Structure 1
């Protein structure tokens, strides 16, 4: 894979508070729109990133005010890479119950990770399970060029 030319980067550490996570997410979404990502890709990134942030704050850090969440983002015209790390004990995502199993359809849990995997190009956890990398490659025909003015 060719080396990406990152047009935007962020590295934020926030408290275990969903409001603080929302502020970083809003900034990320503005940057995607500034790079002319199409709406369905922006939606996918929004949903997956929000899910990962809530998981880090709620399940990883258990809303503990002394614990932090680190969010690192890298954005190019064609790729977004988001790494979210909490200070919790971690978990093994392979041990999550299958949320599509008919016996689990009414049970909570597991759907968020499934949705992240469905909407992103890559979802990868570290060995501890307290850090996740989300990547989304803008669809080949879906990305609009930065300068698409027919007068140019």
Structure 2
């Protein structure tokens, strides 16, 4: 189901189940960016939202579903004048976000993994996971410009 409303006073809503294919997942963000542009979101918010979305969709497909072609990912997005929500649910076993080591730790600087989760938390206004760990909900507030830590 895809619901797209043109009036900027009305929320833009999108919901689609996709196969475990990163190219399909990456294409979906274009509609959200258009909706944000129509609602006069600042360019920095568009950039950060796209970056967080890309990290989350790739994590769901690669790590959650293990690129299994028999599994799908549910993508839900809503854009309002001042707030947007992205929810991505995979069919994997989930994970414990608290168990992801901080990639900024001295002994992890050259170890891959964990940077996407950190990045999402740094650039979105709110991030939450379901109890299983196979669903991420990200919220961005227009103009919320969190400072990225060094």
Q: TM-score range by the shorter chain?
A: 0.7 to 0.9
Q: Distance in 2 between matches of 1:7 and 1:115?
A: 26
Give the drift of 1:6.
5.1
Matched, 1:11 2:3: no
Q: Distance in 2 between matches of 1:120 and 1:126?
A: 17
List alignment gaps of at least 5 residues for structure 1.
142-152
Q: Pick from 39, 44, 51: which aligns with 2:48?
A: 44
Give the drift of 1:124.
0.4
For the residue of structure 1 that corresponds to 2:84, the secondary structure is strand
Matched, 1:35 2:39: yes
Aligned equivalent of 1:20: 24
Q: Distance in 2 between matches of 1:8 and 1:93?
A: 29
Alignment of 1:99-118 (within 5 A): 99-118=103-122
Matched, 1:95 2:99: yes
Aligned equivalent of 1:66: 70
Aligned equivalent of 1:146: none
Q: Distance in 2 between matches of 1:90 and 1:76?
A: 29
Give the drift of 1:98.
1.1
List alignment gaps of at least 5 residues for structure 2.
1-8, 146-150
* Structure having greater relative contact order (Cα 8 Å, sep ≥ 6): 1
Count matched residues. 137
Q: Distance in 2 between matches of 1:140 and 1:31?
A: 18
For the residue of structure 2 that corresponds to 1:56, the secondary structure is helix
Q: Distance in 2 between matches of 1:55 and 1:16?
A: 11
Larger radius of gyration: 1
Give the drift of 1:20.
1.0
Contact 2:42 2:143 in 1 (8 A): no
Runs of 4+ in 1 over 3 A off after TM superposition: none
| TM-score of the two chains, using structure 2 as the length reference | 0.88
